[in-house]
Structure 1
Amino acid sequence: MLLAALPNSLYALVQRVQNTNPGETMDKSGKDGLLGNKIAAGVLTAGLVLWGANRIAHSVMSDEAPEKPAIKIAALPSAAPAQASKPAGPESILPLLAKADVAKGMAFVQQQCAACHTFTQGGANGVGPNLYDVVGAPMFAHTGFSYSAAVKAKAHGNWTYDEMNEWLYSPSNFAPGTGMSYPGIHNTQTRADVVAYLRTLSNRPVPLPSASQIKSESEEHGASAAPPATAPAENLTALLAHADPAKGKALFEEQCTACHTIAKGGANGVGPNLYGVVGSKSFSASGFDYSDAVKPKAGKPWTAARLDDWLKSPAAFAPGTHMAYPGIKNDQTRADMIAYLNQNSASPVKLP
């Protein structure tokens, strides 16, 4: 049937080749005189087979798209371009400056900042610039210090309280690409204490913010001027249940490693090594010389509640202590710190 579809001349050629007696095709030299015709017929036959197979397949399965699909697949929604989340800005320090603790600010600066900055009038620049008379001075313009391009782009006007607050909260957010590797001060009260101390480093300190400035700042942010309330300490059990050791670790690395080690067998520094501190006897680390203020409190176990009291305000817990750290005012942040300290132990205690 397939051969019949060929043109008559080709069909005749194929029939002739098929009906030819092999003996009749031999010439006088003994060669097959119809060899070329036979090859052509073979090629044509193969083409016929392929053509026929294609026609059969086409009749069985159509290559045209159906009017209605058998299965309707909903189109996937196109992904919206990712929006980089802008880091939340810091809470204003304006309402806190009038009653900020300059002594705590000085202690914090000496502990956290003195390795890179000097604070005396005429002091030399170090890793960072000298910070005497910085509040109210032109931004990133201290004489003799080489600032990075990242901060030069932010040097507009003078260091106001708001600008200082933004910078100290997160230098890397304030000026992406800055050479200032310090992670920032995330506790609002501590930032206020630090700025209040820096304000005193001047022959003519800038005025504190007025009541109208504080009110305007509060209205702009749609919040009360009062600092946010923290959870009551009696909820420590609930706070520990939701504690985030990773956040505690970040705070420890930011604010505690200048004085303490936490690795097993780590050396004492300005403060004692804190590996295994949760559940251990308080103020009893081997080889560390404690002050007379804390010695009367030594020996009692560091329970979660006792650590919470100490971390909230070392100065209130043991008046006269050499521990200059102002404390962690946020209850949840203290719980996060306790959870992190508890992880660093050969046998962590079961927290309440």
Structure 2
Amino acid sequence: MSGKGKDSLLGNKIAAGLLTAGLIFWGANRIASIVVPDEAPKTPAIKITGLQTAAAPVAAAAAGLESIIPLIATGDVAKGAAFVQQQCAACHTLTPGGAAGVGPNLYGFMGTPMFSGSFAYSDAVKDKAKGNWNYDNINAWLAAPMSFAPGTGMSYAGIKNVQTRADVVAYLRTLAATPVPLPAADEIKAATAAAAPATPAAAGAPAAETEPSIDTLFATADIAKGKALVMQQCAACHTLAKGGAAGVGPNLYGIIGAKAFSAPGFSYSAAVKSKAGAAWTDDTLSAWLENPMGYAPGTMMAYPGIKNAQARANVIAYLNSNSDTPEKLP
């Protein structure tokens, strides 16, 4: 050190420090590039199965929902119109510029942004408002609204039959000044190829457990639960008060013991008229509620039915109580 207190090697020390820091940084960068390469390896170290970047039809098939794309071009517009008039027109208007009702106006909605416009949509569906309405998302929505958007205010159970959905969408497509294009040949081919084949039952598999008879379940029937299900699933189409006017479906007051498919003021389809006249018993009503389209093939009531026997017992117990003279249930 000089007499003035300065280190004669200070410059050398600073240069050496910078050089050392640079070597450390360079070495760390090389090690990082080896440990975590910036290019994807040609062969993944771990193969993750089940991830797809497939088109919407493949995703729909994976979810177990059959696509309507192969059926649209040949869909029966007249049947779709009849279904919509019976099942949807009570809540939705269908004319150009029609005011919203219980649900939004449906004229010209296909091809437009999902759940958009002046209608007050619930938060449940706003979360699903991604892109425009197309054949795939309208298919999923119509099949099961409450599964598509859990929490939606639309309590409609959905259209379970794929051909009926195709007929309905074929008709809704026509409700526009310029209908959206029909699916192209390559779209139809892709949707057809994506359809999952039915899986045959395994040999020797045990038979499905048989549900108890509906007659044995009335002792544990919960009228409050039955009423809640009716209000959620049925009240949009049926009135329940004494003397109530027919809506999309007939009035249900005092239905147990009344003549089947014979409510005054309601126009029944030919499919159910052949079963009219006999009294509604707990057994016949159970069979109808379990599978309307199986009970009367061709019926315009496309409700998929109440498959759970206890839930049906709850509903029948409530409907029986909704009467001047309730029947004695088993």
- TM-score normalized by structure 1? 0.49
Shift of 1:341: 1.3
Paired residues for 1:312-323 under 5 Å? 312=290
1:159 paired to 2:133: yes
C-alpha spacing 1:276/1:141, structure 2 compared with 1 (3 Å): closer
Match of 2:238 among 239, 260, 265: 260
One-letter identity of the residue aligned with 1:138 = P
Contact 1:251 1:337 in 2 (8 A): yes
Does residue 1:269 correspond to 2:269, yes or no? no
Identical columns (%): 42
For the 8 Å contact 1:139–1:157, the answer to whether it is kept is yes
Report the CA distance between 1:125 and its aligned residue.
4.8
Is it true that 1:109 corresponds to 2:84 in the alignment?
yes
User: Residue 227 of structure 2 aligns to a residue in which SS?
Assistant: helix
Q: CA deviation at 1:167?
A: 4.8
Question: Alignment partner for residue 194 of structure 2, among 207, 213, 216?
Answer: 213
Distance in 2 (alpha carbons) for counterparts of 1:149 and 1:252: 22
**Aligned-pair CA distance for 1:189:** 0.7
Question: Which secondary structure does the structure 2 equivalent of 1:260 belong to?
Answer: coil
Report the residue type matching 2:302 in the other structure: P
Structure 2 CA distance for aligned equivalents of residues 210 and 117 of structure 1: 30
Give runs of aligned pairs for residues 36-47 of structure 1, distance below 5 A: none
From the superposition, tell whether residues 280 and 160 of structure 1 become closer, same or farther in structure 2 (CA, over 3 Å): same
The corresponding residue for 2:31 is none
The reply to whether residue 131 of structure 1 matches residue 109 of structure 2 is: no
* 2:81–2:171 CA contact under 8 A, matched in 1: no
Taking structure 1 as reference, are residues 304 and 131 closer, same or farther at Cα in structure 2, changes over 3 Å only?
A: same
* Matched AA of 2:88: C
Q: Is 1:305 the equivalent of 2:283?
A: yes
| SS of residue paired to 1:331 | coil
Alpha-carbon spacing, 1:253–1:233, altered in 2? closer, same or farther (3 Å): same
Tell which has more relative contact order, 1 or 2 (C-alpha 8 A, sep 6+): 2
Q: 1:175 to 1:250 in 2, by over 3 A?
A: closer
Q: How many residues get paired?
A: 243
Counterpart check, 1:183 vs 2:160: no
Distance 1:107 1:182, change over 3 A: farther
How far, CA to CA, are the matches of 2:168 and 2:219 in structure 1?
Answer: 37
Q: Identify unmatched segments of 5+ residues in structure 2.
A: 1-61, 174-178, 202-206
Matched letter for residue 213 of structure 1: A
Larger radius of gyration: 1
Stretch deviating more after TM superposition (339-348 or 163-172):
163-172
Equivalent residue, structure 2, for 1:337: 315
Alpha carbons 1:245, 1:339 under 8 Å: kept: yes
Label 1:260 to 1:291 Cα distance change in 2 as closer, same or farther (>3 A). Answer: same
Query: Does structure 2 conserve the Cα–Cα contact (< 8 Å) formed by 1:104 and 1:326?
Result: no
- Please say if residues 281 and 299 of structure 1, whose CA atoms lie closer than 8 Å, have aligned partners that are also in contact: yes
Q: Is the 8 A contact 1:93 1:188 kept in 2?
A: no
What is the identity, as a one-letter code, of the residue corresponding to 2:326? Answer: P
Counterpart residue type for residue 183 of structure 1: S
CA distance in 2: counterparts of 1:191 and 1:243, whole angstroms: 33
- Contact 1:92/1:165 (CA < 8 Å) preserved in 2? no
| Helix, strand or coil at the partner of 1:340 | helix
TM norm structure 2: 0.52
The alignment partner of 2:245 has SS state of coil
Shift of 1:237: 3.7
- For residues 224 and 245 of structure 1, do their structure 2 counterparts lie closer, same or farther at Cα, with a shift above 3 Å needed? farther
- Whether the 8 Å CA contact 1:312–1:329 is kept in 2: the answer is yes
Partner of 1:282: 260
1:31-70 deviation digits (Å, cap 9, x = unpaired): xxxxxxxxxxxxxxxxxxxxxxxxxxxxxxxxxxxxxxxx
Distance of 2:200 and 2:79 partners within structure 1: 22
Q: Deviations over 1:129-169 (max 9, x none)?
A: 44345455432346xx4665945564322335564466554
1:197 and 2:171 aligned: no
Looking at structure 2, the residues matched to 307 and 192 of structure 1 have their Cα atoms a distance apart, in angstroms, of 26
